[in-house]
Structure 1
């Protein structure tokens, strides 16, 4: 027993010595990072110069999604969103038979919606997404044939560049509309009192004595003028107007969606993917000259040509107008409130560090653990307006994302929640103090590590799609910016942040927060 105990003790001592040696070697590699009190974790707060920048009329053709409706935002004003689109034949040069008679012409555009529940009969209850304003609001909706031809290429650029269309061109399309509105149903919910309904569309067809039920998620569904489409589409086939889509797009130049107030009703606005929309023309024709048998036929027109979002701004909030007025913007010390608005809106510009501050940090040998900007919502200034889900921070000098965006491999399930490490998502843990946090750790590391790195200005905007990083051109360069993130043009929303001036309470003030380690 004694001998066994002795040998066990010797073996234990040998293991301890071996492990200690290994641990010593490991720590000698890692002691440049942490351990033995050679480094301390420290938080450093740097002042930020942040100020407003108005965005004028902006390129808005061929966006991923488009607004339609009227949105009253107490912090910014009223935005009226009209829309124009080309339409194309799903199948070109259709064969029209004998004695065609149209039975229905229906325009459909799906809404963004979520299935909440399904009852015992299989009928679904849906919740609509991307609707701003009261759920019971109504608008006057009129759909016209458009007489405005939307080119693919710009003749002013020798047809070497895509043609641009802008948010402030509503009058061009309105003046070019042709005839009476096409959605002339006696059902006012399809025109004079249109509303975005969350009701599932359901049809029942009896075949061989059995009822077959078809259910479709909520969407815009408008009955269009059958006489018009008989003349414009069915009768035009014989003259070759439907032979190719190039010919067809010149012949039928598209649709113009015009919205107006509906009496005294409150209004609202929806984001729609119009490219998933279509017009279905159902008609019957004879099988032959000698056979009176009628058969069902259809022609489908897709809303997949060139599009443009047409935005009118009115009733502009005085505080917003003053804050984004060039004469009132302070680019030296910054502004106390920052107004971010999508569409033909506004943004914030940030300037980090001063020359001496950055030089001192570089000479200090800091190792940056994390660097971030936290934006606090000014709930009083924003009022009851909806808060956007996300903001986007980018390199304003070069109109591109910063390195932290590219380095973030985290993927969300849709365009709204990817790049979650990079951040910019609304934090609603404290409803009275909502914040947005954007991590710029690698951006700051590069600035400190590389003395020749340019300390670029940063832009902050509302974004509807974090995966879309391309820019749209301003109609007229304002001397500060000539481009604006395309994903911000898509969004109808806005928010107000506390700025970075001394007038802002310290706990609300925009600052750059850096967590770092430094040698003793």
Structure 2
């Protein structure tokens, strides 16, 4: 983020330098560059070699949210998202009183949403981070797989769980958690939630007033609320106050290892929700008698869906796309198309300034691309440098909505993961297909020319969240080349795209490095 802020202030810095030096042009050229009144700005294209690599499973236990559902990408196929989460207890050593009766057990998980208006006391909302509107079915199981906080082989490092954890969790899962219909409590308990789609409706909680009338007691932002069959939770918690596993939060996490949310099927494309576990709870509502205090006292006990968690993905990547990604890996020449897909999908790799053929003492390579070495021999000021990534719209021929295209891509240094810049999808109009992403490299190229930093291989990926800081590890990836991690915003992203590469059949859309510069002398 520090580097991103640095590049973000680049424009101000360049303008200040130019207006402070009498020998430099007073206005920059082009749209961004202004008017080149002295005809001093040189525009030059430089070679770029770009190609794609398929990714192994990626780390998911460091996500800020979890995903549940299915997403059907028009290019990269259908992906199913399950997750596992630990539960934590707020209170240890609690006394539940005598003659305990559990009235209800409610699981609540908020959606990400924002208010769009208010009428009287009612608030309308729009859901964020929900994709698709067709139903899914899912079950919740008791999890028997222990999620460590630290790496068992190195307790000084945090544990890492990857997107391929699903089969391991599924093989040893416990019993299914049962649900009940609060509106029809006489109906049998059931194990599968069917025809589920997230609702943007305000959630109303009701209570009985002093006149025994049902009134609205609380208004909550959109969330899903499921009534759990109470006897399981009564036996586990309320009737076991002396159990050792209720003595501390760590004891409880070790005994009851959390919940496993598993999508069982979907209708059509289904839907995918990013869920906010920060405020997610299981609340046990019970009444009991407290000797010498009160009889029939209403209380509740809260379990938080906090602690360790991991998202598990199953991507049905079409075989044709797998082959195209594999064929596009050509470090020597680059590729016609670039493939980007979030999660354990694909990223593209970029080498700037072409090959290194000469410059060494023996007449061979010297470790610096020849075009870069030639540019360094001139005393220049970089006015602007950018990469334009044109979208290959033929890849989206089967897309039913322009919203499937990722809004942002991220350019970063592959070795140290420093952020170079990002590009936002440009369209001719809001309802039209994406045209291109433009990523500024002005500060990066200036630093390379001055020797402040060394040139390195770059990575380009989609990103779900530009503000997400950090990286997600890639599991044991050495082929087709070593890739140790990707930006966390790419790991959590579900979308994908295809871009024109440096060998595109359309010369106007080929990827190239454009540099606008001024010769100082």
Q: Same fold (TM over 0.5)?
A: yes
The equivalent of 1:14 in structure 2 is none
**Match for 1:366 among 380, 383, 407?**
380
Q: CA deviation at 1:27?
A: 11
The 3-state SS of whatever aligns with 1:282 is strand
Deviation digits for residues 431-487 of structure 1 (CA, Å, limit 9, x no counterpart): 34432221111110011122x842201101111222333222222122321212222
In the alignment, the residues of structure 2 paired with residue 217 and residue 337 of structure 1 have an alpha-carbon distance, to the nearest angstrom, of 43
Provide closer, same or farther for how the CA distance between residues 295 and 379 of structure 1 changes in structure 2, counting only shifts above 3 A: same
Please say if residues 83 and 311 of structure 2, whose CA atoms lie closer than 8 Å, have aligned partners that are also in contact.
yes
Q: CA deviation at 1:341?
A: 0.9
In the alignment, the residues of structure 2 paired with residue 184 and residue 335 of structure 1 have an alpha-carbon distance, to the nearest angstrom, of 55
The equivalent of 1:97 in structure 2 is 97
Q: CA deviation at 1:188?
A: 8.5
Q: CA deviation at 1:62?
A: 2.9
**Match for 1:296 among 293, 298, 306?**
298
The equivalent of 1:465 in structure 2 is 465
The equivalent of 1:109 in structure 2 is 109
In the alignment, the residues of structure 2 paired with residue 433 and residue 138 of structure 1 have an alpha-carbon distance, to the nearest angstrom, of 28
The equivalent of 1:481 in structure 2 is 483
Moved more, 146-155 or 35-44: 35-44
Q: CA deviation at 1:42?
A: 2.3
The 3-state SS of whatever aligns with 1:161 is strand
The 3-state SS of whatever aligns with 2:197 is coil
Provide closer, same or farther for how the CA distance between residues 519 and 163 of structure 1 changes in structure 2, counting only shifts above 3 A: closer
Are 1:283 and 2:301 matched, yes or no? no
The equivalent of 1:7 in structure 2 is none
Q: Could you list the runs of 5+ residues in structure 2 that have no partner in the other structure? A: 1-16, 27-35, 182-186, 355-368
The equivalent of 1:125 in structure 2 is 124
Provide closer, same or farther for how the CA distance between residues 266 and 59 of structure 1 changes in structure 2, counting only shifts above 3 A: closer
The 3-state SS of whatever aligns with 1:442 is helix
Q: CA deviation at 1:138?
A: 0.8
**Match for 1:495 among 494, 497, 500?**
497
Deviation digits for residues 190-219 of structure 1 (CA, Å, limit 9, x no counterpart): 702222111211123343448444211111
The equivalent of 1:31 in structure 2 is 22
Q: CA deviation at 1:328?
A: 4.6
Q: CA deviation at 1:397?
A: 2.1
Q: TM-score, normalised by structure 2?
A: 0.84
Provide closer, same or farther for how the CA distance between residues 320 and 188 of structure 1 changes in structure 2, counting only shifts above 3 A: farther
Please say if residues 39 and 518 of structure 1, whose CA atoms lie closer than 8 Å, have aligned partners that are also in contact.
no
Are 1:392 and 2:410 matched, yes or no? yes
The 3-state SS of whatever aligns with 2:141 is strand
Deviation digits for residues 45-64 of structure 1 (CA, Å, limit 9, x no counterpart): 22311110111112211311
The equivalent of 1:375 in structure 2 is 389
In the alignment, the residues of structure 2 paired with residue 296 and residue 376 of structure 1 have an alpha-carbon distance, to the nearest angstrom, of 62
The equivalent of 1:253 in structure 2 is 257
Provide closer, same or farther for how the CA distance between residues 453 and 127 of structure 1 changes in structure 2, counting only shifts above 3 A: closer
In the alignment, the residues of structure 2 paired with residue 466 and residue 499 of structure 1 have an alpha-carbon distance, to the nearest angstrom, of 24
Deviation digits for residues 76-118 of structure 1 (CA, Å, limit 9, x no counterpart): 0111100000010122222211111111111111111222232
Moved more, 372-381 or 50-59: 372-381
Provide closer, same or farther for how the CA distance between residues 195 and 40 of structure 1 changes in structure 2, counting only shifts above 3 A: same
Please say if residues 328 and 338 of structure 2, whose CA atoms lie closer than 8 Å, have aligned partners that are also in contact.
no
The equivalent of 1:141 in structure 2 is 138
Provide closer, same or farther for how the CA distance between residues 267 and 28 of structure 1 changes in structure 2, counting only shifts above 3 A: closer
Provide closer, same or farther for how the CA distance between residues 28 and 373 of structure 1 changes in structure 2, counting only shifts above 3 A: closer
Please say if residues 18 and 24 of structure 2, whose CA atoms lie closer than 8 Å, have aligned partners that are also in contact.
no
Provide closer, same or farther for how the CA distance between residues 507 and 184 of structure 1 changes in structure 2, counting only shifts above 3 A: farther
Q: CA RMSD in A?
A: 2.5
Provide closer, same or farther for how the CA distance between residues 439 and 27 of structure 1 changes in structure 2, counting only shifts above 3 A: closer
In the alignment, the residues of structure 2 paired with residue 188 and residue 179 of structure 1 have an alpha-carbon distance, to the nearest angstrom, of 13
In the alignment, the residues of structure 2 paired with residue 295 and residue 274 of structure 1 have an alpha-carbon distance, to the nearest angstrom, of 30
In the alignment, the residues of structure 2 paired with residue 109 and residue 176 of structure 1 have an alpha-carbon distance, to the nearest angstrom, of 25
Please say if residues 189 and 195 of structure 1, whose CA atoms lie closer than 8 Å, have aligned partners that are also in contact.
no
Q: CA deviation at 1:512?
A: 1.5
Aligned length: 466
Provide closer, same or farther for how the CA distance between residues 294 and 229 of structure 1 changes in structure 2, counting only shifts above 3 A: same
Q: CA deviation at 1:33?
A: 1.4
The equivalent of 1:240 in structure 2 is 244
Please say if residues 368 and 445 of structure 1, whose CA atoms lie closer than 8 Å, have aligned partners that are also in contact.
yes
The equivalent of 2:272 in structure 1 is 269
The 3-state SS of whatever aligns with 1:344 is coil
Q: CA deviation at 1:265?
A: 4.5
The 3-state SS of whatever aligns with 1:481 is coil
Q: TM-score, normalised by structure 1?
A: 0.84
Please say if residues 179 and 191 of structure 2, whose CA atoms lie closer than 8 Å, have aligned partners that are also in contact.
no
Q: Could you list the runs of 5+ residues in structure 1 that have no partner in the other structure? A: 1-25, 403-421
In the alignment, the residues of structure 2 paired with residue 309 and residue 291 of structure 1 have an alpha-carbon distance, to the nearest angstrom, of 46
Q: CA deviation at 1:227?
A: 0.8
Computing the radius of gyration over CA atoms, which structure comes out larger, 1 or 2? 1
Deviation digits for residues 482-504 of structure 1 (CA, Å, limit 9, x no counterpart): 21222211111111111111x33
The equivalent of 1:414 in structure 2 is none
Please say if residues 40 and 519 of structure 1, whose CA atoms lie closer than 8 Å, have aligned partners that are also in contact.
no
Deviation digits for residues 147-175 of structure 1 (CA, Å, limit 9, x no counterpart): 11111122222x22212111101011112
The 3-state SS of whatever aligns with 2:506 is coil
